[in-house]
Structure 1
């Protein structure tokens, strides 16, 4: 029998969201920050090694600098065509395509001048049009503002004594870090908060190195990821360029029964 509290937990897991829009300017309370660190601490890890380390960043100057790096990274990635080339396999341009594939992101919210050209964004002509319309700079500025307006950033690091890529300990430590971050991701909703991965600086090594130096990361730790967190506003307008990613694969698309090649039946 599943009790009411258990159903609330399951409902919370099913309702997990990523926040694409801005947060309220209110500081995240120290109580809530510590709750998030405690749920991360509760995650499983290989031999209870707990290889994760976190940096909680509230200083507006540091947040502003990371925001500048994130915005510049986005501008460079879009302007060079790298972003779309690298991630084109995840883009969907119609509801029908999403219904069939049930993965990736549906680009369903664009400025009017770009809407007729959604399927051409991967071509040279599409990139040229985006440059003429100032899309790389706009996306970079949107990204900068989102990060700069976040009251809390969280850097996630791994202890290199455990994180040894190419060895099993490297896999185990990344697995444990993922569980810790997922615990945080699932807990923020209960606190009226949201979370989003600040991914673009990782795409450009020199920008990622700048963040390492900004956070004074020592040689024995590896900077793995940065997230932005904050309290959610009551009503939130969508960004000018936005997407939907709520579809999930059907059971028959990712679950096998007894052996590979025997799909689970959809209910």
Structure 2
């Protein structure tokens, strides 16, 4: 029989604790070129994966797995897969953007001591999962929550993390020997860093800028501006 539910107090964090959470959020960066070569300890890696594993998931299906990659040969094959996809991606941009694109470092696969592929097992939980009955993709959304947890925990540990998304999925499937029902969601590069950009690197390099929050918040229906928000 189900055990009785015993809620615990839900008090607010202390000022210092709350500030630390927001600091991790606001200073998190997508790291490509600032990795140091020294290894990440097993203790720290376990804490990061433990944080990821405590992400919210629809129906508590926990669809994620974490493939930890340290082998230089595997990294080399994955970096080559990135290079091929990146050449294709560059050609998709207008000529005036292509030159800037070519100067951007978009991966740290070889430099980072650890790579992690976060996957989603689309069979986890069976055919019918609580909360997934009307939106099959909630397993993917849940896996992305695990990525965000890992990213914020890494920032708190002084570990840089970069998400490499420029791949043909079949290349990752082949290299990592993924079964058909498992989807690669995020390929991450992790390593100690000494410095981070004080703003997103793509913003610092002139590729894009953060949009004003006020332009993105509506009230009650699409397009209706929200009034009386914080100053």
Bin for the TM-score computed over the shorter chain: 0.7 to 0.9
Match of 1:263 among 223, 226, 231: 226
* Residues 1-267 of structure 1 mapped to structure 2, 5 A cutoff: 3=14, 4-78=16-90, 81-82=91-92, 84=93, 121=96, 143=106, 146-162=108-124, 168-202=134-168, 208-234=169-195, 243=205, 247-260=209-222, 261-264=224-227, 265=229, 267=231
- Cα contact 2:81–2:167 (8 A) shared by 1: yes
Backbone CA RMSD of aligned residues = 3.3
- Number of residue-to-residue matches in the alignment: 209
Q: Distance in 2 between matches of 1:43 and 1:214?
A: 27
Question: If each structure's helix is expressed as a fraction of its own residues, which one has the higher value?
Answer: 1
How far residue 71 of structure 1 moved from its aligned partner, in angstroms, is 1.9
Q: Distance in 2 between matches of 1:37 and 1:247?
A: 31
Q: Distance in 1 between matches of 2:208 and 2:55?
A: 25
Give TM-score, length-normalised by structure 1: 0.67
- Cα contact 2:122–2:139 (8 A) shared by 1: no
Report SS of the residue matched to 1:121: helix
**CA 1:235–1:184: 2 relative to 1, 3 Å:** closer
Unmatched 5+ residue regions in structure 1? 86-119, 203-207
- Stretches of 4+ aligned residues off by more than 4 angstroms: 244-247
Unmatched 5+ residue regions in structure 2? 1-11
Give TM-score, length-normalised by structure 2: 0.76
**CA 1:234–1:179: 2 relative to 1, 3 Å:** closer
- Cα contact 2:147–2:186 (8 A) shared by 1: no
How far residue 176 of structure 1 moved from its aligned partner, in angstroms, is 0.7
Report SS of the residue matched to 2:189: strand
Q: Distance in 2 between matches of 1:210 and 1:47?
A: 31
- Cα contact 1:253–1:263 (8 A) shared by 2: no
Q: Deviations over 1:24-76 (max 9, x none)?
A: 11122111111111111111111111011110101111112111221232123
